[in-house]
Each structure stands twice: as structure tokens, then as C-alpha cells.
Structure 1
Amino acid sequence: MRLVHHPVLCNYYVTYRCNATCSFCDIWEKPSPYVTLESVTQNLQHLKKLGVKVIDFTGGEPLLHRQIDQLVSLAKQHNFITTLTTNGLLYPKYAEKLKGKVDMLHFSLDSADKEEHDRLRGVKCFDFVMESIRIARNLGERPDILFTVFEHNTDQIEVIWRDICLPNKLVLILNPVFEYNAVQTGTKLSTQTLQKLSYWAKQKNIYLNEAFISLRQDGGNHTDKPVCRAGSSTIVISPDNKLVVPCYHLGTEAFNIENDLYTLYHSAPVQKLITMEGRLPACEGCTINCYMQPSFAVEMNKYWWKALPSTWKYTITKGTWKQLFT
């Protein structure tokens, strides 16, 4: 049963450029412009009209955009819930400017072992994450640690939780790795690892959407009975101001926004593609978290119920639940 009939999330790619070279991502390989203040100002007005609640300023590395603090401020002026994930390299530079403007600030950290984390990210950023935590806490911010879970690094969950998150009163977000296109992420998560993640999801100051586990146990999205609602729950805007449909990772078409996102979204070509969400050949077996999360939120099914406890736990912890109803 569909509960919400409008998009709730915007994945706003401010640039595809990145100062890391993560092995499990290909975005950093793409040439890219940066979004403009003018286009963001116009699009935010239309996103509000479309019913979007959350703006995820993403990339690439979003802090490479020199006006990122202004972009986030614009979103807050429209009462959006804001979220931003960074590898930490540039956070010390922008920390003061971002203070109080990002509701869900995430620092990527995949291991408590400096060498392992830096190897996964392709750049020496471990020390910058540690420094970013210190600076953010001193500013009164409440960042989260975003931990990408691979088959080989699950032993690091307890170490990061115990030695980094709990002492700093940070939430540890467990983000199971996913494959897309030709990007290889190593061995798929085993049944044993998924069971281990289910255990950790129930611990204090840890967030993991348990529907992610259930979806993987079911073999991911199936085109004959899709759970994915990427196109109708999420709006994707590219750095060159295009609407990407039905999602970034598997998107088949991009439409020039041309100052009228609202009309474009409701146009026949876009709506036709949205009806194909979860049904394209590339959608078979998909487990892409950033589109499954909003998909679970807009339609009541077994994944909605699986996602509910952990999602509610996180929104209460972060204090964003009130904003969802405004």
C-alpha cells in the first residue's frame, strides 16, 4: 500500500569531483562542473512544491564546492532537513561556516586502522576524520560516523563503536556495500555477516536500516515485483542541472531542468521513466541503499515494517522527527 505519493528526498550532486579515489565508487572518475547558486535557489523552490523533505548535498566530495555553506543555508531557509557526507579532508576548513546548517553530518570512516582506511579511500584522510570529529564536537555539532561494511572489515565495527563513537557520543551508521554498473566491491556480504549486522543494529548509538539486511537476504530488488521506488520517492539533480531518471546509479536519461523542475518532473517523458522504476533489466538484484531507504519509507510492505524501528530510533536520536511533519 502506497503511503506517500510524492518524492521525499533529493540527492543533489553539487559536483562529481572528489579528492579521494575510493575503490568501491566510480564517481570520482567523471569530469564535472559545480552547481550554481542560481540554479540551486530555483530548484529548491520547486523541490518544496513537489513535497521533498530532505536534501542530501552529495558528490563526489561536496566540500569541494566553495559555496557549499551557502547552498546548505539556502536549503535551511526553505526548512528542508539537510544531510551531507564528507571524507573529512576539507571539513576543518569549512567547519565554522557549516555550523548549525547540516542536520545529518556524516564523516566517512571504514576502519579504526589508519592504513586500512586510507587504502580503501585511496588517499590519506584518516587523520583528517579524527581532526574533524574533534572540531565538530568543540563546535557543538553532532556528526555521525558512516561506516561502509565490506565482508573483510566487519571486525572493525566494534572497535570504531567502542573507541571512537561512544567516547564522542556519535552515532555509528552501518552502510552495507552495494554493487552497481561495472563497479566491483569484492565478495558479497555473507549470511554470517548479515546476521552479525543484525546484532549490531540493536546496539546503542548504532544505526542500520534492518530492511537493508532483509532485502539482501531476498536477493535484492526483483523486476517482476519491484520494491524499488527510486524515481517516485527521490529526485536526482546532476551538477550540470539535469534531472536524472529514474536514479543516478542506473539512470537511463537526464533532462535539462531549464528553470522549471516542477513542470519537468510532471512531464510525460519523465513520468513514463518513473513507471519503470525497479523494472529495468539493470534493476534486477539491486540493493543500492540511497534509493532503497526512501523506497522503504513511502510504501507499506514488509520492508517498511523492518525499517521502522531503526529509522525511528535514528530520527529520535538526531531530533529530526519534528521536521518530517512540518
Structure 2
Amino acid sequence: MRLIHHPVLCNYYVTYRCNASCSFCDIWERPSPYVTPLEVGHNLKDLRRLGVRVIDFTGGEPLLHRQMDELLRMARAEGFITTLTTNGLLYPKWAERLRGLVDMLHFSLDSPHKEEHDASRGVACFDFVQESIGIATRLGERPDILFTVQEGNVHQIGEVWEQFCRPNKLVLILNPIFDYNAVATGGGLSEAALQELEKWGRQQGVYLNQGFIGLRRDGGNSIEKPVCKAASSTVVISPENKLVLPCYHLGLQEFAIEGRLYDLYKSAPVQQLVAQEGRLPACQGCTINCYMQPSFAVNVNKYFWQALPSTLKYTLMKGSWKGLWRGKKAYGPKEHSIP
């Protein structure tokens, strides 16, 4: 049963450029421009009209964008909940300018050991993550530690929790790795790894969307009965100011936005692609977290119920309901009621 009939999330790629070269990602290999504040301003207003509530400014490395604080300020002024993930290399330089602008700030950390984390990220950023944690907490920010879980580091969850999260009272987000395109991510996670994830997901101060575990045990998305609602729950905008469908990772077609995002999204060619979400051959077996999380949230099925307790847990830990209330006031009754 469909619970929400409009997109709730925008994955806004401010650039594909990155100052790291993670082994499980290929975005950094793509040439890329940067979005402009003028484009973002137009699109934010249309995203509001579409019903989107959360803007995930992503990349690449979003802090390579020299006007990132301006973009965040614009999104907050429109009432959006904002989220941003960084490898930490540039955060110490940005910290003061970003203060109070990011509702969900994530620092990527995949190992408690400097050599292993830096090898995974292809750049020496471990020390910068440590520095970033210290700066952010001193500024009164509440960053999360985003741990990309692979078969080779699942046994290190406890060390990251004890060394980095618990002393600083930070939430640990467990992000199970996923395969896509031709990127060598090391394959799926074993049943033993899934059980270890489940164990840690029940711990206080740790967030794991339990729907991710259920979906992996079921073999991922089925094109016969798709759980994926990527194109109808999430709006993907590229650095070239194009609407990407049905999702970034598949990226079958891109449409130039040209200041008309709302009308473009509602157009027949776009909606025809939206209708194919989860049903294309490449969608078989998909477990991509950034699309499954909103998919679980808008459609009532077993994954919705599996995800709900962990979603409520994170909301209480982070107080993100306050962002929803801020957005409600900014939207006003007319805008808020748009289907």
C-alpha cells in the first residue's frame, strides 16, 4: 500500500569531483562542473512544490563546492531538512561556515585503524576525521559516524563505537555496502556479517535500517514485485543541472531542467520512466541503500515495518523531528498540502 505519493528526498549532486578515490565508488572518476546557486535556488522552490522534505547535498565531495554554505542556507530558508556526508579532509576549514546549517552531518569512517581507513579511501583522511570530530563537537554540532560495512571490516564495528562514538556521544550509522554497475565492492555480505550487523543495530547509539538486512536476505529487489520506489520517492539532480532517471546509479536518461523542474518531473516522458522504477532488468537484485531507505518509507510492506523501529530510534536520538516541524512552518498550509 502506497503511503506517500510524492518524492520525499532529493539527492542533489553538487559536483562529482572528489578529493578521495574510494575503492567501492566510481563517482570520483567522472569529470564534473559545479552547480550554481541560481540553479539551486530555482530547483529548491520546485522541490518544495513536489513535496520533497530532505535535501541531501552530495557528490563527489560536497565540500569542494566553494559556496556550499550558501546552498545549505538556501535550503534551510526553504524549510528543508539538510544532510551532508564528508570524508573530513576539508571540514576543519569549513566548520565555522557550516555551523548550524546541516541537520544530519556525517563523517565517513570505515576502520578504527589509520592505515586501513586511508587505504580504503585512497587518501590520507583518517587524521582529518579525528580532527573534524573534535572541531564539530566543540562547536556544538552533532555529527554522525558513517561506517560503510564490508565483509572485511564488520568485525571492527565495536572498535569504532568504543573509540570514536561513545566518548564523543555520537551516533554510529551502519551502512551495508552494495554492488552497482561494474564497481568492485567485494561482493555481498555473508549471513554471519548480517547477523553481526543486526546485533550492533540493536545497541544504544547505533543506527541500522533493519529493512536493509531483510532485503539482502530476500535477494534484493525483484523486478516481478519491485520494492524499489527510487524515481517516485527521490529526485536526483546532477551537477549539470539535469534530472537523472530512474536513479543516479542506473542513470538511463537525463533531462535538462532549465528552471522548470516541477513541470519537467510531472511531464509524460519523465513519468513514463518513473513507472519503470524497480522493473528494469538492471534493477534485479538491487540493494542500493540511498534509494531503498526512502522506498521503505513511502510504501507499507514488510520492509516498511522492519525499518520503522530503527527510523524512530534515529529520529529520537538526533531530534530530527524538530527539522520536520521547522519545515512545516516554512511550507505553510497550502504548500504543505501539495500531493
Shift of 1:156: 1.1
| Equivalent-residue separation in structure 2 for 1:223 and 1:324 (angstroms) | 33
Alignment-derived partner of residue 116 in structure 1: 116
Partner Cα separation in structure 1 for residue 8 and residue 14 of structure 2: 19
CA displacement, residues 227-271 of structure 1 (integer Å, 9 cap, x when unaligned): 000000000000000000110001210000010100000000000
Aligned-pair distance for 1:324? 3.1
Within-5 A mapping of 1:41-190: 41-190=41-190
Counterparts of 1:43 and 1:229, CA distance in 2 = 21
CA distance in 2, matches of 1:160, 1:86: 17
SS at match of 2:15: coil
The whole-number CA distance in structure 1 between the counterparts of 2:48 and 2:82 is: 13
2:217 corresponding residue in structure 1: 217
Q: Which amino acid aligns with 1:250?
A: L
Partner secondary structure for residue 167 of structure 2? helix
Distance in structure 1 (CA, Å) of the matches to 2:233 and 2:313 = 21
Distance 1:52 1:167 in 2: 35
TM value normalised by structure 1: 0.99
Please name the residue that 2:332 is paired with: none
Query: How large is the RMSD of aligned CA atoms in angstroms?
Result: 0.6
CA distance, structure 2, for counterparts of residue 254 and residue 316 of structure 1: 37
TM-score (norm 2): 0.95
Give the AA of the match of 1:2: R
Corresponding position: 1:298 with 2:302: no
In 1, Cα distance between equivalents of 2:273 and 2:292: 17
Contact 2:221-2:285 at 8 Å conserved across structures: yes
Question: Which deviates further from its counterpart, 114-123 or 312-321?
Answer: 312-321
The aligned counterpart of 2:33 is: 33
Aligned to 2:289: 289
AA aligned to 2:246 is P
Residues 71-109 of structure 1: per-residue CA shift (max 9 Å, x gap): 000000011000000000000010000000000000000
| Distance in 2 between residues matched to 1:8 and 1:251, nearest whole Å | 19
Question: Hey, what's the Cα distance between the residues in 1 that align with 2:187 and 2:163?
Answer: 27
**Which stretches in structure 2 are left out of the alignment for 5+ residues?**
329-339
Alpha-carbon deviation of 1:118? Answer: 0.1
* 1:198-277 correspondence to structure 2 within 5 Å: 198-277=198-277
Instruction: Determine if contact 2:179/2:187 at 8 Å carries over to the other structure.
Output: no
- In the alignment, residue 20 of structure 2 is paired with which amino acid? A
Q: CA deviation at 1:321?
A: 1.8
CA distance in 1, matches of 2:296, 2:255: 26
Residue of structure 2 equivalent to 1:7: 7
